Amino acid sequence: MAQMTRSTHPPSSRNPAFASTAFAVGAITIATTRIVGSALLLAAVAAGAGPTYAEPVPPTAIIQTPTVIQVVASPDKAETPVTIQQITVAQANEIVRNRVGDLAVEERVRVFRHGVQFDLDPATLTVIRDAADSEAQTGMLVYYGKIGSTEVAEDLRFMLHGDLAYVLRDIYIDPTDETVFVGRSIPSPLDAKRGFEFAKRAAAVTVVSPPAITGISGATSVDSGVVDGVSRQPCGPAFDGLRVRNNISARPGAANAFPWEINGSGFGATAGTVKFDGRTVQTTKWTNTTINANVVDPTPGATTTKTALLEVTTAPAAGGKTALYAVSVVGATLSRVWGQCTAHAELARIEMGLLPSPDGYKTGYIALDKSYTPVKGDQYKWTLPNKSGTGTSPHTGVLKAVTKSAALSYTTGTTKVETWLLTITQRNALCTNVVNEYPTTFQKKTESKYGIAVTTVTAYPKSQYNGQQNATFYYPYNK
């Protein structure tokens, strides 16, 4: 199986303030890095047998680090570029400290191998971290290291709930491009399972178990790059593995393209309540094993990547118990996933006070011909060579500024030339999820032929890359 593709990191030099140690909890060896005044857990992992939920790690396997809590950041509407930075382990540890702060911390660890989740195995294994990747805007943090000679990736996400800071840590043994980060879309249980089981055994009365969530299913959209409700982008995969939360507020009457199907047990036959990120969610189906929920972001134009709390509370008839799970999501605007060119185009139009197009590339586009006059907010469509070089894919950008050039517009005899200078805002043009702007032109020429005025387009708005292709269709600013 092919190994995971990532940048090569040089071995990080040890910070004098750090000293590596290892100790044992039961039969599991835990490698740590000591930080002045606290200890930062690095690993307590092993491959196992059986694709079931991993139990929470022992109490000693808790990150204890001082400073200020920082939940996974939400991008601002300006959509600053997403840039994944290669950093040292020491720098990554500092990021963890900044996010956790001086709050009480609970860690949830899961182990994956070849895309399957395993229970922790009591084998003596030590994870040694040697590098990390960070993306400051979205808060993503990934450590890379080894168990012996076996490659390991650790995906960390953070969530604040009450007076607790949860650290969600998914460990991937032998990670590949196909299997890494599958845990991002799988709900991570926050309930103290062991404590609950102890209370149940000790109680003199029957204890009703809280509902259990085993997974979430969703819709598949090839156009949106979404599979089973999870982002799987062929171009610009920075947010792959995150479950999609749609935003439908930007266009009145729009349907939610990505409802969630929450699967599990103990939900009861009578509908209870579901909350996500502090908001009550509309449910359209409720059985003992399945809940269909419209988990949407109601803020106009908001598109966020974050880890947030999913709360499922059963009806009083089913015990009135609440299950708490953490779910990592990437936002979408009208089914267009954040980080992609289509989502950027819709957000750019919203920022201009315009309606976004009904869909990314299809409905409402008009042929860009001699009758066209550029207007701020117009959305262009190009057909470009795809990433694999085996075909073509659509790309879109928005006209952010336009000026008719006096110097390049003139009349000579029976020929009239009109030229507009355009500034295009776009994202993900090179499959790197980066936002940028660039200049291009639109030009028309009208000349008299046999006494008849004939107008032709002599310069189309061009793509910045991929051979500078012509935009031949556009979605008008006023639709």
Signed CA dihedral, 343, 349, 355, 361: sign only: negative
The Cα 144–Cα 154 span in angstroms is 6
Instruction: Please name which of 70, 67, 41, 69 lies closest in space to residue 56, comparing C-alpha atoms.
Output: 41
Res 15: pLDDT: 29
Res 467: pLDDT: 78
Q: Give mean pLDDT in consecutive 10-residue pieces for the chain, a chain of 479 residues.
A: 47 29 29 28 30 29 26 35 81 92 89 81 68 82 89 91 89 86 88 42 52 93 93 90 88 87 94 94 96 86 78 92 91 89 92 88 92 97 85 93 96 95 95 92 93 94 89 93
The yes or no reply on domain 182-339 and CATH 3.40.50.620 is no
Q: Name the H helices within 49-177.
A: 89-100
Res 229: pLDDT: 96
Which residues partner with 430 through β-bridges? none
Tokens 């103990």, residue? 266
φ/ψ of 198, rounded to 5, equals -65, -45
293 contacts 282 by C-beta, under 8 angstroms = yes
Core vs surface per residue 190-211: b (16+ CB within 10 A) or e = bbeeeeeeeeeeeeeeeeeebb
Instruction: Please name which of 250, 277, 243 lies closest in space to residue 161, comparing C-alpha atoms.
Output: 277
Which residues partner with 288 through β-bridges? none
- In the numeric block, which tokens belong to residue 400? 């952010």
The Cα 230–Cα 183 span in angstroms is 11
The Cα 282–Cα 278 span in angstroms is 13
Instruction: Please name which of 254, 455, 186, 233 lies closest in space to residue 338, comparing C-alpha atoms.
Output: 233
301 contacts 333 by C-beta, under 8 angstroms = yes
Residue type, 314: T
Res 237: pLDDT: 87
Q: Where are the domains of the chain?
A: 1-180, 182-339, 353-475
Res 66: pLDDT: 26
What is the rounded (10 degree) CA torsion for 294, 299, 302, 305?
Answer: -50
User: Residue 110: which H helix or E strand, with range?
Assistant: strand 104-113
Report in angstroms the alpha-carbon separations of 87 from 72, 159, 194, 258.
Answer: 18, 22, 36, 35
Write down the pTM of the prediction.
Answer: 0.73
Q: Name the H helices within 341-468.
A: 341-351
Tokens 């609950």, residue? 196
Report in angstroms the alpha-carbon separations of 385 from 126, 191, 468.
Answer: 45, 48, 11
Instruction: Please name which of 166, 466, 121 lies closest in space to residue 310, comparing C-alpha atoms.
Output: 166
Instruction: Please name which of 439, 436, 400, 394 lies closest in space to residue 421, comparing C-alpha atoms.
Output: 439
